[in-house]
Amino acid sequence: MTATKPHAGVLSAHPDRPTRLPARPFFSSGPCAKPPTWSPDKLATQSLGRSHRAKIGKTRLQLCIDLMREVLQLPDSHRIGIVPGSDTGAFEMAMWTMLGARPVTTLAWESFGEGWVTDAVKQLKLDPTVIRADYGALPDLALVDWTNDVLFTWNGTTSGVRVPNADWIPADRAGLSFADATSAVFAYDIDWAKIDVATFSWQKVLGGEGAHGVLILGPRAVERLENYAPAWPLPKVFRLTAKGKLADGVFKGETINTPSMLAVEDAIFALEWARDLGGLAGLKARSDANAAALDAIVAKRDWLGHLAADPATRSKTSVCLTVEGADEDFIKKFAALLEAEGAAFDIAGYRDAPPGLRIWCGATVDTADLEALGPWLDWAWAALKA
Ligand SMILES: Cc1ncc(COP(=O)(O)O)c(C=O)c1O
């Protein structure tokens, strides 16, 4: 996909204006850039306009599930299914169906983790233990009591801070681990034996569409579902069991309700692209190269910095940057200038985060485009300072 031709920005005639634009200035942290080879006419459409329960629909849903398993290197111990409501739908489905059986700990170091705290406290009224850190930091993971169910965000998309690995999750935990992994899967190695529940949406690292979430369940989560019924009512779109047994069909493409087959076909395209570039290793290599290219840009500019203090827990997908002296207004103008020039779309930090930039480095972004962005950042900085 290429950018639509930008209208000339107000400062197009500025003498220091860079001459080379990123070919695909799509740096949004969600929905993220489409895969580089993507175009809508390349999507298979035979399943559209048909029942999703017809053979063709079920076959395509199953293919999508099989490709996700292959690219994620998900072991057979874990089920993977397509559910409604994007990542939020998938994570809340897990919360609403499984929590309440034992005490809960929620970890939060940015906006999305805070969202799950709000769900646990205000909606489910669970009185969880909340372990927090400020934007840019990670809480002390050693404080977690694993007799509790534990909710965390693998990659905090709005602060650019991630967990380093799953070593802090004990193999013999009594509680379940719930990972909101939406901007982490397909970018990092995940030790699936440590994960009881994980969720994501195609709209992040794969550059797919929102609307659907993906729910991954390990054996201990299935055991919880089959042996525990929460005290609160469950809407139909959250129901994962029937007569005390797991609704297995959900993990074979028999979705709870009608999916968007167009979004499914789009995900299949992205997954085939991912598989053909070497699967998880290929995706990680692209994301690592992108994060390194952006890091090199930051290192050369004293007015730019990383919001995530510790490189070991710094995101390689949603990279959040501080800009010297910038307030919300400055960032708004900075991002608008670059958007008007067609140099960068959607790079203002998240609304709840400290004012700064957020530049997606996931696998669907091309490293050359990040390299081309550097001079444009200088240009916008100089233009606004002038
Ligand atoms: C960590 C995290 N969790 C949840 C969400 C919500 O995802 P969705 O809009 O796909 O439901 C996002 C979206 O950016 C996210 O980054």
pLDDT in the model for residue 321: 98
Kindly indicate the confidence band of residue 1, based on its pLDDT and cuts at 50, 70 and 90: low
**pTM for this one?**
0.96
User: DSSP of 119-154, one letter per residue?
Assistant: IIIIIS----EEEE--TT----GGG--TTSEEEEES
- Mean pLDDT score, 44-71: 98
pLDDT above 60 (res 132): yes
Ligand 1: lining residues by beta carbon, under 6 Å: 30, 86-88, 112, 153, 157, 180, 182-183, 201, 203, 210
Kindly indicate the confidence band of residue 16, based on its pLDDT and cuts at 50, 70 and 90: confident
Name the CA dihedral angle for 194, 196, 202, 204, rounded to a multiple of 10 degrees: -50
pLDDT in the model for residue 343: 98
Ligand 1 mean position to 100 CA, how many Å? 23
Mean pLDDT of the chain: 96
How far is Cα 218 from Cα 140, in angstroms, rounded to an integer?
25
Pocket perturbation via mutation, ligand 1, pick of 118, 162, 201 by most ligand atoms within 8 A of CB: 201
pLDDT in the model for residue 15: 67
pLDDT above 80 (res 6): no
Q: pLDDT, tens digit, for every residue of 298-319? A: 999 999 999 999 999 999 999 9
**Do residues 11 and 340 make contact, with C-beta atoms less than 8 angstroms apart?**
no
Cα atoms in the Cβ-side hemisphere of radius 13 Å centred on 9: 23
**Do residues 32 and 374 make contact, with C-beta atoms less than 8 angstroms apart?**
no
Q: Which amino acid is at 190?
A: I
Kindly indicate the confidence band of residue 338, based on its pLDDT and cuts at 50, 70 and 90: very high
Kindly indicate the confidence band of residue 2, based on its pLDDT and cuts at 50, 70 and 90: low
